Amino acid sequence: MRTAALVFAIAALIALASPAREVFAQGKGVDTPSDTPAAQPSDRPNARPGGSSVGGRDTPSQSTPAETDTPAAAPQNEPATPAERWNSAAAAIWHVGGRVRVAIGYSGTTSSAETARSRAVSACADAGGRGCKAIGAWNAGCLYITTGHTASRAGWASGDSSEAAMKKCRGDGFTCKPPIGGCL
């Protein structure tokens, strides 16, 4: 048993004392261990991804002469993620002296759904609405809203275009005002 341990210890010392040698396993179906120098990021300016360092010189992995003579391109700045854009509309229908009243409001483009709803409700209230409620918030597409009335009733209609809102409003038998709204 002692002999086997002694042989193992001598073999380990010989392996540690011999110069390190890397094996290129590219394209051979062999994974490169993560602790090899080829897998570690390099702080040397000439090191290339996929290359290895043998004897202190860079060895690119399967590169053409044009690739070795051309400096690596500087990383491009990623475009900033566009800010979220939201819009909303609000509407109110109430009675005054036996007559039906209607008011609407549009938020315009805002940075959050909650802000869009709040602005739409405020715009509806500024138009004289009582009990204005947001009808939703959207972060894509277009939103238009309009009001309409007849001799005995009033209402509102919305759509993804001015024409769609007017079509719905007229479909309810109303005489309709030009829609308000917009696209994101």
Torsional class of 106: left (φ above 0), alpha (ψ -120 to 50), beta (otherwise): beta
Mean pLDDT for the stretch of residues 150-166: 95
Tell me: the pLDDT tens digits for 83-104?
Answer: 789 999 999 999 999 899 999 9
Q: What is the mean pLDDT of residues 41-48?
A: 37
Q: Is the pLDDT of residue 174 over 50?
A: yes
Contact 134, 121 (CB under 8 A): yes
Q: Give the pLDDT band of residue 73 (cuts 50, 70, 90).
A: low
- Alpha carbon 62 to its chain centroid, in Å, reads 36
- Taking the C-alpha atoms of residue 51 and residue 4, their distance in angstroms, rounded to an integer, is 39
Rounded to two decimals, the pTM is 0.56
